[in-house]
Amino acid sequence: MTISALKVHVRVNGAATLICPACGAVRNVAAERYRHGRHSITVRCRCRHVYSILLDFRRHYRKKTNLPGTYEILSEGGVGGGIIHIINISRSGLGFTVSGLHRIEKDRHKTSNVGGVAS
């Protein structure tokens, strides 16, 4: 049986909080030294359990979602709209798939209006 690595978010200060899957022990570690090298490391807990972690150095935590909805093009001259499926979200953006008529290009449209608040 193969056990996948646990994903651990590294905070802005370079620290990461590890939680042992066997005993639940919590340990804060300095992870900055791994930023430009390997992000996958093996950890041994004080209970002797060995497990793998994958360090995530993103600025903001990315949460997987499953949010269906609709969208419409609001820009001048924009026509179209359709079904949107938001697959992940963070404080700095979101990942989604769309269907319908659109000219949405990757990394081009940065403005959003979620819940009536433009960002």
Q: Digits of tens for pLDDT over the chain (119 positions)?
A: 456 788 898 988 999 999 999 999 999 999 988 888 888 899 999 999 999 999 988 777 788 999 999 888 787 777 778 889 999 998 888 888 888 766 666 665 444 444 444 43
Q: Where are the alpha helices (DSSP H) in 31-81?
A: none
CB atoms within 10 A of CB 84: 20
Report the C-alpha gap between 69 and 97 in whole angstroms: 11
How far is residue 80 from each of residues 86, 95, 100, measured CA to CA in Å? 18, 20, 7
Amino acid 22: pLDDT: 95
Amino acid 30: pLDDT: 92
| Sequence-separated (6 or more) residues with CB below 8 Å from residue 95 | 62, 86, 87, 88, 89
Length of the chain: 119
Amino acid 108: pLDDT: 53
pTM for the structure as a whole: 0.52
Amino acid 106: pLDDT: 67
Amino acid 44: pLDDT: 95
Amino acid 116: pLDDT: 43
Report the C-alpha gap between 63 and 9 in whole angstroms: 11
Cα three-residue angle 50-14-107, rounded to 5 degrees:
105
